[in-house]
Amino acid sequence: MNTDSIFTTDLFLLDNPNDLISIDKWQKTVNLLAELFEAPAGFLVQYTKEGFQVTISSEQETNPYPSGIVIDPQANIFCRKIVETGEALYVNNAMLDPCWDTNPEVHNDGFRSYLGVPVFWPCGSAFGTFCVMDYQETDYKKSYIELITQLKELLESDLALIGSYAQMQQLAITDPLCNVNNRRGFNILAEQRIKLAKRTGGLLCLLYLDIDQFKCVNDKFGHGVGDAVLQSVAQVLSDTVREADVVGRLGGDEFVALIALDNMSGLANIKQRLTDAFEKVQNASSIPKVTVSIGSTFITESEDISDLLDAADRDMLDKKRGLAR
């Protein structure tokens, strides 16, 4: 599973704190780094499109950059080089290399030496850097690079924890066969969407879909083919509604979608689009042809999600009986 899609790596952690991260522990690690290197400044820096944010800054009077400051993403700072290359960087005397002529850390703040290593999110994308800076030229031994690498692995293990937790949360709300929300996930997301629509006055409609005579598909072609039919229904439903709409599989051959509509007459249109899309996909593939009964209900102020599901289910059953007649 791609953790990139599960948790956000493009927002600053300081602005979006995560309960799994102990900033206190990270602070101690950065302080320890500066102490072990006898350096006047040590940092954990996060990179996003917005720039480089000092997430943690060693607590020393000699350190000019406090936690929270954001440096322009285009600035020619040492950390930028690490994010661009994905590799450790050791500059023992920046005055000797013209590539740092425009580095504000060197020319505005007087730093001469930098040692930093890349820090990665569990998905492999760059979180940022873990680094020390010194106002004097340095001559760090190889073992120092091993030391900073060991310390940054402590930070990465916390980032991995965020990844595993997000992955577990995702698994708990996802239907493994059809890769859409399961009942729990659908209810959580639908409730959020309904609350939002009540505040903004948007029109929402709940669709309830049930495959007709699905048992016969299993009986005639086997469960593997039945599974493929379920997957294709989930795919068509997800592809037909908007990305912001919520799709779920309640279980068996029952699917739901909470969709935003511009007006009530849009409902007939979306049902027709769904019916056409199911037919088109089935004509183009080798899976058995099935029809789908679609019930619906508009969202009203008073009802909760289980009442709404009941109402849409009843409407679907009415449609199915009409179909049987």
CA gap 57, 42 in Å, rounded: 6
Size of the site for ligand GTP (CB under 6 A): 15
Q: Which residue's CB is nearer to ligand GTP, number 167 or number 218?
A: 218
Q: Rg of the Cα trace of the chain?
A: 28
Structure tokens at 287: 């899976």
Instruction: Give the separation between CA 257 and CA 207, rounded to whole angstroms.
Output: 5
At its nearest, how many Å lie between ligand GTP and the CB of residue 315?
Answer: 14
**Rounded to an integer, what distance in angstroms lies between the CA atom of residue 67 and that of residue 59?**
10
Q: Which is nearer to ligand GTP, 66 or 322 (CB)?
A: 322
Which range touches ligand GTP (CB under 6 A), out of 18-26, 67-75, 85-93, 218-226? 218-226
Residue 108, class by beta-carbon neighbours within 10 Å (0-12 exposed, 13-18 middle, 19+ buried)? exposed
Please give the structure tokens belonging to residue 76. 């020619």
Measure the CA–CA gap between 158 and 281, rounded to whole angstroms. Answer: 44
Asked if 17 and 6 touch (Cβ cutoff 8 Å), the reply is no
Per CB under 6 A, the list member of 25, 184, 223, 321 interacting with ligand GTP is 223
Residues in the chain: 325
Cβ of residue 308: shortest distance to ligand GTP, in angstroms?
20
Of 3-11, 127-135, 219-227, 295-303, the window that binds ligand GTP (rule: CB under 6 A) is 219-227
Interacting positions 161-190 with ligand GTP (CB under 6 A) = 177
* Using rule CB under 6 A, residue 218 touches ligand GTP: yes
Q: Which is nearer to ligand GTP, 81 or 319 (CB)?
A: 319
Contact set for ligand GTP, span 81-110 (CB under 6 A): none
Which positions touch ligand GTP (CB under 6 A)? 177, 210-215, 218, 223, 226-227, 230, 252-253, 320
